[in-house]
Structure formats: C-alpha cells, structure tokens
Structure 1
Amino acid sequence: MVIGEKFYEKRKNNYLNLVKRQNRAISIMSTARLIIFFIGIILTGFLYTKKYIYLSISSFLCFLILFIFIVIIHGKIKRNRNYSLVISKINSNCINRFNGKWKDFVDDGEEFVDIDHNYSFDLDIFGRGSLFQWINTANTYLGRRKLKSSLSTCLKSAEEIEKRQEAIEELSKKLKWRQRFEAEGKVINEKIGDPAPIIKVAGDRNSVYTNKCLILIFKILPAITVSMLILHFATNRVSKSIPLLLIVIQIFLLIPKAGQRFKSLGVVYEFKNSIKIYDKMIKLIEKEKFHSAYLMKLKSNLINDKYKASEQIKKLVKLCDVISDRRNSMYIIINILLLLDYQYMFALEKWKEKCGGNLQKWIDTIGQFEELSSLSIINYDHPKWYIPKIIENDLVFEAKHMAHPLLGEKGVCNNLTIRKPSTVGLITGSNMSGKSTLLRTSGINLVLAYSGSAVFAENFCCSIMEIYTCMRVSDNLEKNISSFYAELLKIKNIVKASKEKRKIFFLLDEIFKGTNSLDRHTGAKVLINSLSKKKTLGLVSTHDLELGDLEEESNNKIKNYHFREYYKDDKIYFDYKLQRGISKTRNALYLMKMAGIEIENDIQK
C-alpha cells in the first residue's frame, strides 16, 4: 500500500466514523422529537381540562417552538450525514484509483467515444478503461463536457497551457475543498441534465410581464377578489355575484398564453434540484481564496460590482421552491384566486431582467472548475510526475523515464526523443513486446501535457502539435467500409494535415496491414518518407524489418528503435525497454506453437 492510498483510507474511515456518530445523533433527535410531541400534547391537554387556559396556550407554544427547533436540528444532522457518506465514497474512489479498481467507476464517458476522432479512440481517452474514467470527478453536464473538450481538443497556446498548469497545481493542494466541491454535485442523488432549457428560459425576455401597470392590476385584482369573498362569507353585506364575477374574470385572465407560462414555469421546476446544486457549488467557489491568475479570472465570472452570483442564484432557488407548489392538488383553486401563475412570471421575469443573461456564464464557470479539479487529481496523487515544458516554436518531443499513466506502477519507463534532424521514430520488435503501448504512452502523455496536468515522466518537453493516430481500425459493416479502407481514410487525414503545413504529431501502428506484403512495404516506405519531410514528428511501429533501411536512406531523418524479448525455461519474457536499432528477433512462430499449432522444426529454423 502506497502513502497516498493510506492517506485516503484514513480519510474514508474518519468520515465513516463520523457517519456512525451522526446516525446516533439522528436516532436521539428522532426519539426526542417524539417524546416532546407526546409530552406537549398531554401537558397542554391536562392544563386545558383544568381550565388553565393561558398556561395551556403557553405550554402549547413552548413545546411547538421546541419541536420545531428539534426538527431543524434533525434535518441539519441528516444533511451533514449525507455529505459525510458522499465524501467517504469519494475517498473510496481515490483508493480505487491507486489499486486499479477505477475501471469499475460508473461514469466512463462512453457517450464521448468517437471512432473517427483524430486520436481519442486509439489512445483510450473515453470509454471503459479510459483516461476520462480514471480522473473524472465532474457531475454537472457542462463539467463533464469541459473535461471531454480538454482531453479531445489539444490546440492551446503555450501561455494558456502554462496558466492552466498553475491553476491545476493550486487546486491539487486544495484536497478538502475539491472533495467538498465534488460532494455538492453528488449529494442529490440524481443525474444533472443539460442546462440548455433553463439557460434558454433565463435568457428569453417577455416585456408583458415587466409592464408596471399590468403588474399593479394583477396584484390588486386578486386582493379585491379575496376581500369580497371574505366580506361575503363573514358579513353577508356583499352579494355573492360580485366575488363570483371577479373569479370568472380571473379565470378568463389565466387563459391567454397559459401554455407559454406552463412551459416556462415547468422548466424552472424541472431544474429545481440542479439549481440548488449550482447554488452550493457557486458559494464554495466564491468563498475560496485563489492565487493563480486563471482561477481568479474564473472566479471573477461570479462576482461583479452589483451582486454575487450566489445571491442571485439563491433568489432563483426560492422561486423554484414556490413554483414547486404548482404540483399541489389545491393549486388550481389558489391559482384562480391569486393569479399565482402571473405572480410567478412577474418574479421570474424580474430575476431574468437583472441577471438571467449571466446564468450560462455561471454554470459554465462551475463546469470549468470541475474540469480543472478532475485534472488536479493527477498532480496530487502523483507528486513525482512532471509538469511539462511547452515550447511554442520548435518541433520537439522529449521524454525521460516516461510510462503509461493508466498502467500506474506496472508501467515500464522509457526515454524517447524526437526532434530535428530525426523526426520519425521507426519501432520494430516481436509481437507483444510493447510497440503499441509505447505509441499510446507517448500520445496520452501528450494529451495530458496539453490539458495542463502532470505527465508520467521524470522530464517532459514538447511543442504544440495536432495529434493524429492510426492504430485501431476495423471493418464497419454499417458504412460498408473494410478495415483497410478505414485505415486509408485515417492516413488520408494525416497526409492532408501535413500538406497544409500544420504541426503534426502522428502515431502509426502496423500501417497497411490489411494488404499484401509487397504493397504494404512500398506504401509504408512512401508514406514515412513523405511525413519525414513535413512539419511533423511521429512514431511508426512495424513488423517489416526492411523498413529499417530508411534510417540510412533518409539521412537520419528516420531513426530506428526496437523492443526485444528473451527466453527462460522454455518461456518468453519481455523487458519492454526501448532500444536503438532494428529488432533482431522474431517470436510469431513460437507464440503459434504455444497456442497449440503444430509447427515442424525445419520450418521454425
């Protein structure tokens, strides 16, 4: 067990112990509430029967206040217990990241899998066993998509990446804040949906509900109607036809644009819980003190000279609570009497007029904090990993003791340098020796570097390049595309990008494997030579040992590397260490033999 795992285990146990204490407190409060209720009823009834009217009233009020106080305390403890449970679960997830059980996390970003993306499918960025599944702690709709965007769009300036590095490093040190921030998104056990409908409602304006004369009329009219009803039933001095006429008028007033009001108020009600989550998360951001320029700028989206976002979101939360009364069975009658739909629309339109246009910015800011918090897990859990140096102008990929981040401690470290004059690394080696893993290791660390997080390396330096891969290709029956043609389409995109003089980092695994050996060799040779002359860097893995001649033919623009295996006690072993030069070994026949395929000795020789 590593130090980080022990730390999270301790935090998890602390919160579980806290939950036990809170459960005991909840049980005591429940019992106390019941006792107070019965004692209050008995004592008040006893005093009333003894004709102590004032004492009975005083008794009733005292026990009522005490009962309400206990109910409030009981509710507060239950809410804190829920937070404790969520935070203990968060620490359990942190433990699972260390021991390799993170592949069981429910949210793996499967909906973001795109086999046609330039690199995300080949590098396991989304889906089961992916980078997204490993680090994601975002719960809001936009937070998840912000993280998706930062992992699948690597076109950022060096200045922006450096600002993000500073922000992520700062957040990594705010463990308690990050876990509370994550807990706020999880404490209400429901999926936080796309906020587009509530953002649209907040952004739309309707001048009808801001008309001061109309507002005055619709506030006075219900008051008159209710007054006439009270006077009719209380004094009989008012004919029943007057309140009935007023009620009929109000019914007709509720008919115009009823559908529009129903839709707008319905959307607000639908997002009631989401808005409450946003409220809590915004408060946490506003209260926290940040030092990095990137985080301070994000926080400034929530605060201006006139108001704080939390103050306005709180008003929206209160409005959501009263709008939820529309689900009450008595609402139709009350709505007719008080024209509540109009009152709610007046209040909603007033809120929208003041700050409705900022709602998207606020929710977007929450999402950005969630994205950065997810990435900061890497920096905190792996303090020895390296913060990459980003070079803006030159073309370079340089890594020392680099390994695959998703493999954790099982990853084997390698050194790799790709820069002028050698811009292409050609990797040969036996099956299962580590060629594809090295390609993915290089690519996924580059993705992390561009996102602003630490990478699994002792030293890492790179320039800003577009990543292109051609590794996992298969037949697509739906589109009637063979694996070979699918591979050609990917390579076509790489060639097109290189011709446009864009900076490219490419990863090609066993190219043209779907055709005959002669065409494969010729095609690979032409492609590699062509890419070596462009503004590109890249790695190519192959079993075609004859391609090793390209190093000499290209005047060292292409450099040979290989992986090797060794045999012991009639078993095959790999050290997964990258070596210079062309591979001198083969193991396909040996592996076939291990699979049960009988191979004659003279063929093996």
Structure 2
Amino acid sequence: MNEAREIYLKNISELQLEETNLSKKRKLIGWARFLTIVALIVWMVKMFKASLPILIVGIVLLLILFLVFVAIDVKWKTALLYTQSLLKVNRRELDGLDGKFSTWESGDVFNDPTHAYLSDLDVFGNFSIFQYVNRANTSGGKKVLAQWFKEKADNSIILQRQKATQYLSKQLSFRQDVDAVGLDNPIDENVSKLVDTWTKLPNPLAAGAWNVVKIVYPIITLSTLFLYLNDSISGGMFSLAVLVFLIFSFAQTKKITASYDAINKLEPKIATLSKQLSLFENLKVEGELLVTLQNKLRNENISASKSIADLRKILEKFDVRMNVFLFFFLNAFLLWDVWVTLALNKWKTAFGDKVSLWLNTVYEVEALNSLGTLTFNHPDWIFPTINDTYFNMAATEIGHPLIAASKRVNNSFAINGQDKIALITGSNMGGKSTFLRSLGVNLILANCGAPVCAQSMTVSPTKLMSSMRIADNLAENTSTFYAELKKLKQIIEAVNGGEKVFVLLDEILRGTNSLDRHAGSKALMTQLIEQKVVAVIATHDVELASMQNDYPGKIENYHFDVQVAEDQQLYFDYKLKNGICQRMNAAILMREIGIKM
C-alpha cells in the first residue's frame, strides 16, 4: 500500500475519534450551561427575600460560571470545526490517490485558447493537471500555480523550487494545517483589491489634533454626566449637552464611514490570513527560497501574523455598531469611533503598504505546498536533473501523471542536441498522442520545479509549443484546418525569431487532403531542422519516415505497434519501439463498425 494512503487512513481514523469526542464534550457543556441558567433562576426565586448581598453574590458567581462554560464551548466548537476541516483535507487526498479529484477547482478560468500548449495538454479544466496538483484555497495561490504552469521559470528558480518542494513534502502537518485553515473562509481575489483601495484612501482624521481631542472630549462629557448625577446641573441642561455631544460625535462618525466600509469587508478574511501567516512564520525552514519568503514576513520586532492579529482586534472594536444603545453611548461620551479610527490609521501607516507583500507570500507558499503534496503523494516520482544546454531530454520509464499507476504504461525516451526530430508512426489508438502528452505534461512540471512521473529524467527546461488538439471556431468562422494553421504559424514565428523551443506535433495538417498534407508536413519538418529546432512528431503518414535517409542523425524513427489476433481482435502494448510502424489497424476498425472493406 502507498505510504501516503496509509497515513491518510490513519489520520482519518484519529480525526473521526477526535470529532466524536469533541461532539460529546459540546453536548455536555450545553447541558452544563442549561443547568447553570436553571440554577440561577432557582437561586433568584429562593433567595429573593433573603439578604440582598447573598443574592447578588450568588447571581454573580453563577453568571461567571455560565460565561466560563460559554468560553469552553466556543473553544471546543472551534476545535471541532478545525477537526472537521482536517478530516475533509485527508478524505480529499485519499480520493485524489484513487483518481477522484473533481472536488478541487478545475482552473478553467486560467485557460487561454491562444496559448502555445494549454489546450493540447489538458493543463486546465476538468481532469486536468492543474486540478490534480492544486491545493491552494486562495484565489492568489491558484493564480500563482497557474502562472507556473503557463511559462518556464529560470533554471535557478526551478532548482530553488525543487529544494523548497522537497522540504515541504516532509512537512505534512504544516501543509494540512494551511489547507484546513483556508478551506472554510478562503481569501478570494477581492481581498487584494480591497486592501489596495483602503491603503490609498486618505486618513479621515488628522492624528495630531485628534490625539488631543480624543482625550479632552471624554473628560468634558463624563464631567457633565457626573455633574448631572450629583444634581449640579438640571435635566434640561444635561439633555442639551448630550444633544451637542451626539451631533459632534456623529459628525465624525460620518467622516469615518468610508474608511470603515472599505476595511470592514475584509474582517472575515483577516483571521484566515493571520493563521496562515503564523503557520509559515513558525515553520523551521530550509533552502534559499523558503528562507527568503519567511524573511518577507518580518518587520523589525513584529511579525506579519501579529500585525494582522492587531488589525483584527482593532476591527472588532467597530462591532459595537451592532448594539445600538452601546454604539450611541460610547460615541456620545467617549468618541469611540474616533479612538478606533485613529488606531486603524496608525496601523495603516505602519503596515498598510506591506499587506500585499504578505498576501503574495501566502500565495506562493500555497503554490509550493501544492507541489509538496504532489511529491508526498507520489514518492516514486523524481525531481529531474536540470541541464543548461539546448536541448537534452532523457527519461527512463516516463508516463502520464493523470493515468493511474495500475493502468499506466511507461516508456523510456531520449532526444539530445539541436535540429533533432523524433518521428513517431503507429496505428490508431496505439499510444502516440498519449506519449506526446506524457512528454509535454512532464516538461511543464519540470519547468516549474515539480517532480515528474518518471524513474529518472534529465531535461533542459525549454519553452514548450504544440499543435495536437485542433477544433474549429464558429464564433470566429474558423475551420479546423485554418485553426491548425494558426497554431503552426505561432510555432514558425517563434523558431524564425530564434527562440529555443521544444515542439510537439500530432497529425500535422489533418484537415486537408493527403497529398497536400504529406507535402506540407515534409516542408515543415525540413524547416524545423534548418532552424535547429527539437521536435517530437506523431503521424500516420509512414512515408514521412523516409526523410531519415535525407537527414541522417537528425531524424529518428519510432513507432507504436499493434498485434492482431487470429479472431481479428487488436492488442496494444503501448510500448515505444525503434523504427517504422509496419502494421496499421484502420481497416480492421472500419470493418468492425460495418464498413465493407
């Protein structure tokens, strides 16, 4: 059994037990709260005619006991919700190992039909490599990972990510804690926009003058209240004073509202951000990339998580607005909103310009965690050796990451040097397209610093371009043939511009007649060789294989074979072999559907 599977099963068992225990505890504490209220009522009835001090002492003690029970219940409820989140994390990972990963976001929003390879290689969408790898809950984390899949990183960055990923793969508790914290209240794309809007808003109150007013004002108002309570001023004068206090205080509240509205929308996300920052700050990290990311969260003597926690405490003080009577009293007599706003302004001045940096750090950590989980779930996958020269790819037992290990057929393959073409011929359903996608998807993983589905691999991280899955476009009135020409034009322009690329082509020019297709394919292959491009091309056109004679050492022939049994049943072994395919199966397949051959 896969070690990761055993660990997830063990975690689920332990977490289910913890969930049961916490649920029982909450029921008990619920009864304790109920009985405390009953005891309070009984005490008040029984002691109503007794000594007043004894009555009050009993009421106070029972209320304190009730509040203690409430605090315990809140603590256990929080623990229960977190346990349930961890349960969900482990159950999803277990499903992922079984090929059921539809609960993760497909990433379809990141798809780009004009991109060099996204559509061909199922990078985004349902049952895509992004959906399989992604563990980010924040919209920013998903965006970072998507960007890594879209473009090759510098070799130095790839090596740093490899080290970070290897380290994080061993930090199971950390990865699952980050996942669990972000599950129920994820930081969405609006958070960055709201932060940016808020930090650019002018402070509604000038700190210098208002720092004096906030102290002098309560002295005046509370002195007025004291004078009234001691019958030193009349009720009419006191009422007039209170009216003046209200007008003055709520004039300031109106100024504050815009700033409050901008930041208050963030309050539900603040707790999530604080916890995620704290988790990463407290992780003992190794490697240049993780150390650099962690250092971004330090600001002199205060950490990012502590700063965000302080912001949350400030925002919580605005919650008095939910209690109308308390809101009116605190603002009329203490200028409560002014005090809180000045504290908020002070926080914004100190840390406002750093929030985006902290968010971006969380996003990158989530993306790295995704690669770490991929590594943990597949201990048999390896990190490729990175080669700086163009071009080198040598893989042993490479396979498609999205095919279950029990069904996957791996192949060994190598292509080295410039102006090299591997031409793969073969029958229908023999495995040509899957093999091309295996090369492409694993190169994408290698290009972003992830492990690859292979026994060993040396690769030169290179820009990938492909033309494999072509569809017409009714909106643009584009035929399948013209759509393919547009893809090929992208490739030709890139190679003519001197870009170093690795090209994957499947059935070139399939939308035209056989004569034009053969002539066009031959011309394109010649052009690729002349431009010193490395390509792997799959085709049914076995006549193209003769080009090996024209370009010895530059074109290598491979094929996928099919075996035909005596009863005309087809058998595919999906193994890549040297040479030209000698056996096709189209006629057999056509006969099977009723075409008389």
Q: Which residue of 2 is the match for residue 69 of structure 1?
A: 68
SS of 1:406's partner is coil
1:466 aligns to 2:466 (yes or no): no
In 2, are the aligned partners of 1:205 and 1:352 still within 8 Å (CA)? no
SS of 2:504's partner is strand
TM-aligned CA distance change 1:334 to 1:513, over 3 Å: farther
Query: CA offsets per residue over residues 518-537 of structure 1, 9 Å max, x none?
Result: 11111111111111233432
SS of 2:584's partner is coil
Q: Which residue of 2 is the match for residue 107 of structure 1?
A: 105
Which of 217, 222, 239 aligns to 2:213? It is 217
Kindly state the Cα deviation for residue 19 of structure 1 after the two structures are TM-superposed: 0.5
Which of 272, 276, 284 aligns to 1:277? It is 272
Kindly state the Cα deviation for residue 505 of structure 1 after the two structures are TM-superposed: 0.8
Structure 1 residues 220-229 or 272-281, which shifts more?
220-229
Q: Which residue of 1 is the match for residue 149 of structure 2?
A: 151
CA distance in 1, matches of 2:578, 2:527: 23
CA distance in 1, matches of 2:501, 2:537: 14
Q: Which residue of 2 is the match for residue 228 of structure 1?
A: 224
SS of 2:115's partner is coil
* Identity between Structure 1 and Structure 2 (%): 31
**Equivalent residues in 2 for 1:133-532 (5 A)?**
133-154=131-152, 156-188=153-185, 192-204=188-200, 206=202, 209-218=205-214, 220-221=216-217, 224-225=220-221, 227-228=223-224, 231-232=227-228, 235=231, 237-238=233-234, 239=237, 240-255=239-254, 258=255, 261-329=256-324, 333=328, 337=332, 339-409=335-405, 410-420=407-417, 423-532=420-529
In 2, are the aligned partners of 1:225 and 1:247 still within 8 Å (CA)? no
Query: CA offsets per residue over residues 493-533 of structure 1, 9 Å max, x none?
Result: 11111122221011111111111111111111111111123
**Equivalent residues in 2 for 1:572-591 (5 A)?**
572-591=570-589
In 1, are the aligned partners of 2:424 and 2:557 still within 8 Å (CA)? yes
Kindly state the Cα deviation for residue 39 of structure 1 after the two structures are TM-superposed: 1.5
In 2, are the aligned partners of 1:164 and 1:294 still within 8 Å (CA)? yes
**Equivalent residues in 2 for 1:45-84 (5 A)?**
45-51=45-51, 53-84=52-83
TM-aligned CA distance change 1:355 to 1:254, over 3 Å: closer
Amino acid at match of 2:133: I
CA distance in 2, matches of 1:187, 1:465: 38
Structure 1 residues 4-13 or 237-246, which shifts more?
237-246
- Structure 2 unaligned regions, length at least 5: none
CA distance in 2, matches of 1:398, 1:211: 65
**Equivalent residues in 2 for 1:532-551 (5 A)?**
532-551=529-548
- Structure 1 unaligned regions, length at least 5: 601-605
Amino acid at match of 2:191: P
Q: Which residue of 1 is the match for residue 39 of structure 2?
A: 39
Normalised by the size of structure 2, how large is the TM-score? Answer: 0.94
CA distance in 2, matches of 1:10, 1:37: 41
Amino acid at match of 1:19: E
1:93 aligns to 2:71 (yes or no): no
Q: Which residue of 1 is the match for residue 118 of structure 2?
A: 120
Kindly state the Cα deviation for residue 44 of structure 1 after the two structures are TM-superposed: 4.5
CA distance in 2, matches of 1:532, 1:268: 59
TM-aligned CA distance change 1:318 to 1:253, over 3 Å: closer
Query: CA offsets per residue over residues 373-431 of structure 1, 9 Å max, x none?
Result: 01111211111211101111331111111000111312111011111266211111111
SS of 1:120's partner is coil
Structure 1 residues 334-343 or 53-62, which shifts more?
334-343
Kindly state the Cα deviation for residue 196 of structure 1 after the two structures are TM-superposed: 2.2
Across the two proteins, how many residue pairs are aligned to each other? 591
Kindly state the Cα deviation for residue 33 of structure 1 after the two structures are TM-superposed: 1.4
TM-aligned CA distance change 1:363 to 1:331, over 3 Å: farther
CA RMSD in angstroms, aligned pairs only: 2.1
Amino acid at match of 2:412: N
CA distance in 2, matches of 1:437, 1:148: 22
Normalised by the size of structure 1, how large is the TM-score? Answer: 0.93
SS of 1:276's partner is helix
Kindly state the Cα deviation for residue 119 of structure 1 after the two structures are TM-superposed: 1.2
SS of 2:386's partner is strand
Query: CA offsets per residue over residues 191-216 of structure 1, 9 Å max, x none?
Result: 73432233214532635534311342
CA distance in 1, matches of 2:465, 2:319: 50
SS of 1:101's partner is coil
